[in-house]
Amino acid sequence: MPCINRNTIINLNYQKMKKIILSALLLASAVTFAQEESPLSISGSVDVYGTANFVDGAGTPGLLIANPQNANAFGLGMANVVLGYETEKAGFVADLAWGPRADDANMAGAINQLYAYYNVSDKLTVTAGQFNTFLGYEVISPAVNFNYSVSYLFNAGPFSHTGVKFDYAASEDLSFLLAVTNAHGISSADGNVTGDMQVGGQVGYKGQYLNIIYGATGANATNDDLYIDYTGGFNISESLYLGINAAYANSAEADSGYTGAALYLENSFSDSFALGLRPEFFQAKAAGVTGDVMALTLTANTSLTENLKVISEFRYDSSEDGLIEAFPTQESVSAITIAAVYSF
């Protein structure tokens, strides 16, 4: 048996270590390259909050949870995972969300959005499935909104649509949208057994959007509901932005609807800190009886890291008509909410 000295053993181990390190580097490079080249993308967010009001009893208006009258102390928002697959001509999006915030907005279990699309040309895209509404300034995910609580306009809906839409980009500044969908009150999980439908459209020009939807709101409900919505905004200065949302909804058959407007003043003091003010007026009509509510929301948005932000919010709601969400017997409610939102 040949004699193997200590130096030979060290040399053999060194060669093995070089091979292991080289293999690891090659594997890491291959994974990185695959991630960069892969048409599959994964993103999402999680959020939690703490809240308190200045009246007797629990509750905070505007928290997007199924029972905002129960909001108190600490609570969960939602966990959101968005899977996207995009090629040159087609792709899909599977937007899944779990938690109290998602339960209040999802139309089919954990599905927030689920659709496929096809790029007919550089200008025309056809999308089929369930997709978030093209109306309004705010969205379901708190990772995208500046405020944590949502406006009365957003809560009035619709949240999502199930059907087909056509997006046409006439130029960099001008765009058009046409949508044919189920009534937005019909869950995608149940299916449209009644055949109640809506048709909608959008004209966009330089970041300003005029939206219209007409049709039924739910199964065997009124079928003459009209929604007209304007959403837009302007850069007043390098740091100050003004967003606008104004909407009108009406059903002559039910003698009901709503009218409202909200402004979104947002000033960035640095890359990591911004302040925002959202004044809103909302008037609702039900069976010919109208009522008003006003809400003022002051929000501090602080980015602790590239992925983690803290939203600190003071909100004041006022109504003499019993329209304050979660507090129909109060004429005014003040609440403080602090939320942590992690995005990836």
Domains of the chain: 53-71+113-343 (2.40.160.10)
pLDDT at 277 over 50: yes
pLDDT at 33 over 80: no
As a whole number of angstroms, the distance between CA 299 and CA 227 comes to 29
Q: How confident is the model at residue 82 (pLDDT cuts 50, 70, 90)?
A: very high
Q: What is the DSSP code (8-state) at residue 156?
A: T
- Backbone phi, psi, residue 15, to 5°: -65, -40
- For residues 136 and 124, the answer to whether their CB atoms sit within 8 Å is no
- For residues 254 and 287, the answer to whether their CB atoms sit within 8 Å is yes
Contacts of 150 (CB under 8 A, 6+ apart): 62, 63, 64, 138
Instruction: Determine which helix (DSSP H) or strand (DSSP E) holds 152, and give its type and residue range.
Output: helix 152-155
Token pair belonging to 68: 């905002």
- Backbone phi, psi, residue 16, to 5°: -65, -40
Residue type for position 318? S
pTM: 0.87
Predicted confidence at residue 36, as pLDDT, reads: 57
- For residues 267 and 240, the answer to whether their CB atoms sit within 8 Å is yes
Instruction: Determine which helix (DSSP H) or strand (DSSP E) holds 38, and give its type and residue range.
Output: none
Give the chain's length: 344
106: three-class secondary structure by DSSP: coil
Percent of the chain with pLDDT over 70: 89
Q: How confident is the model at residue 31 (pLDDT cuts 50, 70, 90)?
A: very low
Give how far Cα 200 sits from Cα of 164, 211, 282, Å.
10, 7, 23
pLDDT tens sequence across 312-333? 999 999 999 999 999 999 999 9
Task: Give the closest residue to 114 by CA, choosing from 93, 99, 134.
Answer: 93
Predicted confidence at residue 107, as pLDDT, reads: 81
As a whole number of angstroms, the distance between CA 253 and CA 8 comes to 93
Q: Tell me which residue has tokens 């999006």.
A: 93
Predicted confidence at residue 19, as pLDDT, reads: 46
- For residues 211 and 202, the answer to whether their CB atoms sit within 8 Å is yes
Residue type for position 276? G
CA angle 229, 230, 234 (to 5 degrees): 160
pLDDT tens sequence across 96-141? 999 999 988 888 889 999 999 999 999 999 999 999 999 999 999 9
* For residues 136-151, average pLDDT: 96
pLDDT at 204 over 90: yes
As a whole number of angstroms, the distance between CA 107 and CA 191 comes to 11
* For residues 1-14, average pLDDT: 42
Q: What is the DSSP code (8-state) at residue 108?
A: B
Give how far Cα 311 sits from Cα of 35, 135, 145, 241, 296, Å.
32, 24, 10, 18, 16
pLDDT at 158 over 70: yes
Give how far Cα 96 sits from Cα of 92, 112, 150, Å.
13, 5, 20
Higher model confidence: residue 133 or residue 4?
133
- For residues 99 and 112, the answer to whether their CB atoms sit within 8 Å is no
